[in-house]
Structure 1
Amino acid sequence: MRLLKKDAFALLLAAYHPSLDLLGVSTVHGNASLEQTTSNALRILTAIGRPDIPVHPGAAKPFCRAAVHAPGIHGSSGIDGTDLLPEAHVPAIRKPNAVLAMRHAIMDQPADTVSLVATGALTNVALLFATFPETVSHVKGLSIMGGGIGDGFTDAQGLRKGGGNETDWAEFNIYCDPEAAGSILPDELVAKKTTLIPLDLTHQAIATDSIREKLLHGRQSGPPSTLRTLFHDLLTYFARTYSNVFGLKAGPPLHDPLAVAVLLSEEELTINDGEGERWHVEVVTDGVHSARSEEHGQLGRTIASSVSERGTGGIRIPRSFDKARFWDLIDDALTAAEDRLLAQ
């Protein structure tokens, strides 16, 4: 399976799971500025021993809005919490631009072999599908970490009443560029190939104290490696901000790697998708980015309605997954990265 993607733990899993082939990374505005997220991606790939994976800077702002960032959760850099990140060995690739690079990476491979994974704002993906519509039919799938269904879908821990984490209604990635999300999620052809990983699912992947200790030490005795310490630092910082901002004391949810993990086979990770149920998803685009709730309203809210008949399209939204196996996959990826770094 081939895919394109970004973000620390998701990059780790995509780069080191044996059934995945990470073709490239496109960065986008979101947790921090485009310049910062591009630097972060390059430094993470260097840290895990995969500086060979190309990184293309993408959109610096949403379709028609100013960019918004999340320093209160991820720090001013977008990846605060550790001083162990190395400087990048290679620069980002600016020509061709990210959208054209994505098009080439997809169309250079046989049809139905490349999966797109989006763990940030959907601006790059929306621009790709709008500019090169032939990529929609060529890709095997699209996995999106974004949205929050909320009431009536699941009792996900830590969610607010409407399923959001940026506002009561909106998840941050969708809130960043709701127009981009609104151009993708309702599209019938795209929907048939899309798996949406909302907060309802990611808030089941809680990195508790015991899980963080497991990932820090792995299966080896002795002091933890620099790589494991780095990722433990990131989780510890995230745990602190999630506790302070959301009151989630058990540990932080690990959102992004789930968007990679759902691409794996049933033998590799069991996913419960409600016996094949599918969903129509709409995005609220009325409102403005604002700290005042009466101004942003329900901007960025994802509204899912069930598709009653199977085979009629709709988006896949998993309800649960094998949590123990998921954490084993992360641990296995850390071990594989350690082995590669030792061999270099």
Structure 2
Amino acid sequence: MVRLIIDTDPGIDDAGALFWALASDAFQIEALTTVFGNVPVETATANARKIATLAGRPDLPIWSGAARPLVGEPHFAEHIHRPGGVGYWEYPDPDPDAVVPSDAVLRMIDAVMSSPGEITIMALAPLTNVALAIKLEPRFAQSVRRIIYMGGAALTWGNVTPVASANIYNDPEAAEIVVKSGAPLTQVGLDVSRSFALSPAHIATLWESGAPMGRALCEMIGYPDRHDDPDEMPEWKTEGMHLNDVPCVAYALNPEWFTVRRLHVDIELHGEHTRGQTVVQMIDRWKGEPNVDVLFDIDAAAVADALTAAVIAHR
């Protein structure tokens, strides 16, 4: 059983990944840590609490972390996820007066250092919390089992700039610290996420199942009430429900769903048009020492089927 700390900024796609991870018997989820990203960290923390409760884990530790990047100001994605972060899903905060520990980085360090080589960090958000843990504890990078991060684009275009993915662009300095840390790393970037979506048929199956998590995912994109409205999240209806974070869970469950290449990755910090780009050396001539397992290709149908089955089965 894989022990996980999931670092997250829910986010509709985070919700899909979290529902699947929480429904799986393959993971022992130690805690959720939250960070700014899709929404402010306070909203992300409330959403993490809602997701854990709906998944039957109201006891799951949730630790709040960084509210801003190491350099500059945060860039939120409320235009995609709506102001509440989870689209049209309306679910009451199970404990709005809860005092959430705000020392996520220190607690992440304590968890990893108390069980060297056992805990994997699954980072579905900007890498600020993870980078701070690496800088504060010099042994952290060598003590974590693996860091699986969602972000980057090796052979495809970006989703916030022509070359940069949102999670990396939101804190390039943090991403640079992580890729240079020497920790075992897996990049789950847009090379695979762009090829994955829950089809309209999967969405209909989730709704018709009546399963609480399945219905919540549907409600996030306005299904079924807004399904015929061409102005409301149209790409989620014609192309399917894009859940960029889900392949992170899929990789942790079954790496054989992917093609994996060990390559050298750098983070561009200074380019006027390229800040936040993951610069991936695809051929040997550049002599960069490989530092990241980069995912290419995905068995998207198998992943969509597995996610749908897991969410429906978990009641």
Fold match by TM threshold 0.5: yes
Question: Which residue of the partner structure matches residue 69 of structure 1?
Answer: 76
Q: How far has the Cα of 1:128 moved from its partner?
A: 0.5
Q: Secondary structure at the match of 1:53?
A: coil
**Equivalent AA in structure 2 for residue 180 of structure 1:** A
Q: CA deviation at 1:217?
A: 2.8
Instruction: Please name the residue that 1:272 is paired with.
Output: 259
**In 2, are the aligned partners of 1:72 and 1:241 still within 8 Å (CA)?**
no
5+ residue gaps, structure 1: 152-162, 219-223, 288-295, 339-344
In the TM superposition, residue 59 of structure 1 has moved relative to its aligned partner by 0.2
1:99 to 88, 105, 109: 105
Residue 11 of structure 2: aligned partner = none
Query: Number of residues paired by the alignment?
Result: 301
Match of 1:328 among 305, 309, 315: 305
Contact 1:61 1:67 in 2 (8 A): yes
* Distance (whole Å) between structure 2 residues aligned to residue 35 and residue 50 of structure 1: 20
Q: 1:230 aligns with which of 216, 230, 249?
A: 216
CA separation in 2, counterparts of 1:307 and 1:242? Answer: 42
What's the TM-score once normalised by structure 1's chain length? Answer: 0.80
Kept in 2: contact 1:73–1:241 (CA 8 A): no
Q: Distance in 2 between the 1:55 and 1:247 partners? A: 29
Letter in 2 for 1:297: H
Structure 1 Cα separation of the partners of residues 231 and 60 of structure 2:
30
User: 1:317 Cα shift?
Assistant: 1.2
CA distance in structure 1 between the aligned counterparts of 2:238 and 2:268, rounded to whole angstroms = 30
2 CA distance for matches of 1:313 and 1:8? 32
Matched, 1:23 2:24: no
Retained in 2: the 8 A contact 1:178–1:285?
A: yes
1:217 is aligned to 2:208: yes
For 1:299 and 1:241, the matched residues in 2 are separated by: 32
Residue 227 (structure 1) shift: 3.4
SS in 2 for 1:133: coil
CA distance in 1 between counterparts of 2:310 and 2:110 reads 28
Would you say 1:180 and 2:174 are equivalent positions? Answer: yes
Which runs of structure 2 are paired with 1:248-287 in the superposition (5 Å)? 249-266=238-255, 270-273=257-260, 277-286=261-270
1:305: which partner in 2?
Answer: 281
Residue 38 of structure 2 contacts residue 76 of structure 2 at CA under 8 Å; is this kept in 1? yes
- State the SS of the aligned residue for 1:332: helix
Answer 1 or 2: which has greater strand percent.
2
TM-score for both structures, normalised by structure 2: 0.87
Quote how far apart the aligned CAs of 1:319 are: 1.2
Q: For structure 2, which runs of at least 5 residues remain unmatched after alignment? A: 9-13
Residue in structure 2 matched with residue 150 of structure 1 by the alignment: 155
Contact 1:31 1:70 (C-alpha < 8 Å) held by counterparts: yes
- The C-alpha deviation readout for 1:89-118, integer Å capped at 9, x for no partner, is 4835316x1011101221222x32211011
Instruction: Give 1:137 deviation, angstroms.
Output: 1.0
| 2:221–2:233 CA contact under 8 A, matched in 1 | no
> Per the alignment, in what secondary structure is the counterpart of residue 31 of structure 2?
strand
Residue 248 of structure 1, CA deviation: 8.9
The separation in 2 between residues aligned to 1:254 and 1:242, in whole angstroms, is: 17
SS at match of 2:310: helix
The whole-number CA distance in structure 2 between the counterparts of 1:199 and 1:176 is 15
C-alpha deviations, 1:125-146, integer Å up to 9, x for none? 0000110121211111110101
2-side partners of 1:113 and 1:131: how far apart? 19
The CA deviation string for residues 255-301 of structure 1, in whole angstroms up to 9 with x for no partner, is 112112211245xx53222xxx31111111126xxxxxxxx521111
Q: Deviations over 1:53-91 (max 9, x none)?
A: 1111100000021111011111112212122x2322483
